[in-house]
A and B are shown apart, each in its own frame.
Chain A
């Protein structure tokens, strides 16, 4: 009887744990996707590109072909 009770408690705890992990994974999938899309936004990209554009204006050291 006691054994059955202990097993029951473990099973419920295990189920909660697994559920929580899945939820966490789903949420982190969401934040990762948002982070990914945000990193591709025009504002983020402008920061990288301005670096190259200003460099291009300053010097044309590597003549283009």
Chain B
């Protein structure tokens, strides 16, 4: 018997929820290929380990980088492998609900659903990430009150106002936590003259990155390659430096939240002051980010319970109640 699936196809992490079972897969959205033959060598965590450490003939890529489908063929192969790994075959034919960034184009949408159908899905439906996030974060979206959810992922940041089971206002930008890594990378290169990889930059962000000053701040040692001598070198980064390096990215995220608030009807806007806005997504876990958004919007911000899983849990709930929640799928809006 086919078990229906919900997939959060994130730019950084992919999660799969199986109907009646819960989360059955959670790993980085990375695929490693042989450059010459195009053969898939690894996916997920194994492929992630290879980023920036491969010999010339192997490439480890994130096909969804930037919240857009940069390579249709690779994305299709990733979806196919993903479905195979959770047991989908030509004979099982489950229904599949896939969460996508709300900003994706019609062509990208078609590419994702076609890929899922070709990989064995009987029916493939899409749901907007912030909608799934709001369901998964357990916001009372069944009531006529304003619920605001802010999902900051690797490649996208999306804010949405939801009331009575529907999206009232939406604002999405293709900027996310990867851009923070990239900003750290280029800062270290410019100011300290050393080159570091994207994984090292991410480690710096996780260790000492912040969007506003916090208590117990510490410095971090970063190892990279000296641009002049080509030799390995270590530098020390302070939290202030990192904050400065990532400020532009943080500002574009907070401005998109402000724009979303401005789009909300006044009756709902007053609800946020009481209920607060909810942060989900890995990028939302950046130290001091909630406080920074709070300061810039004068509105309380709360962290959801399971920020990394909220989206797939919301989509999973839609697969559990597929018929009743059909109206939430993209393209089903009346």
When distances are taken between beta carbons in the complex, the residues of chain A under 8 Å from B13 are 65
- Min CB distance B332 to A, Å, is 11
A37 touches B164 (CB 8 A): yes
Given contacts A41-B142, A47-B320, A65-B282, contact A36 B327 (CB under 8 A): yes
- Chain B, interface residues (CB within 8 Å), range: 20 to 34
Interface positions, chain A 19-65, Cβ under 8 Å from B, are 32, 35-42, 44-45, 47-49, 51-52, 54-56, 62, 64-65
Interface string of B291-334 (1 = CB under 8 A from A): 00000000000000010110001001100110111011000000
Q: Does B262 contact A (CB under 8 A)?
A: no
When distances are taken between beta carbons in the complex, the residues of chain B under 8 Å from A37 are 142, 164-165
- Min CB distance A36 to B, Å, is 6
C-alpha spacing A49/B323, complex, angstroms? 19
Name B21's contact: one of A44, A47, A51 (CB within 8 Å). Answer: A51
Name A39's contact: one of B136, B164, B306, B324 (CB within 8 Å). Answer: B324
C-alpha spacing A13/B140, complex, angstroms? 46
**Which residue of the partner chain B has the closest CB to A35?**
B324
C-alpha spacing A49/B135, complex, angstroms? 10
Interface stretch of the complex, out of B25-33, B183-191, B210-218, B228-236: B25-33
A40 touches B23 (CB 8 A): no
**Which residue of the partner chain B has the closest CB to A50?**
B22
B23 touches A45 (CB 8 A): no
When distances are taken between beta carbons in the complex, the residues of chain A under 8 Å from B164 are 37
Indicate the member of A41, A54, A65 with the most B CB atoms within 10 Å: A65
B28 touches A39 (CB 8 A): no
C-alpha spacing A19/B209, complex, angstroms? 64
Q: Does B138 contact A (CB under 8 A)?
A: yes
Indicate the member of A39, A41, A64 with the most B CB atoms within 10 Å: A39
When distances are taken between beta carbons in the complex, the residues of chain A under 8 Å from B170 are none
C-alpha spacing A52/B310, complex, angstroms? 10
Q: Does B150 contact A (CB under 8 A)?
A: no
Q: Does B141 contact A (CB under 8 A)?
A: yes
C-alpha spacing A41/B317, complex, angstroms? 11
- Min CB distance A31 to B, Å, is 10
C-alpha spacing A44/B308, complex, angstroms? 21
B282 touches A45 (CB 8 A): no
A42 touches B165 (CB 8 A): no
Given contacts A38-B324, A40-B135, contact A51 B165 (CB under 8 A): no
B327 touches A32 (CB 8 A): yes
- Min CB distance A11 to B, Å, is 31
Q: Which 4 A-B residue pairings sit nearest by Cβ, starting from the closest?
A: A39-B324, A62-B26, A40-B142, A39-B321
User: Which A positions have Cβ atoms within 8 angstroms of B?
Assistant: 32, 35-42, 44-45, 47-49, 51-52, 54-56, 62, 64-65
For the complex with contacts A45-B317, A51-B21, A52-B313, 7 further pairs of A-B residues with Cβ separation under 8 Å are A44-B321, A45-B135, A47-B320, A48-B317, A51-B22, A64-B308, A65-B308
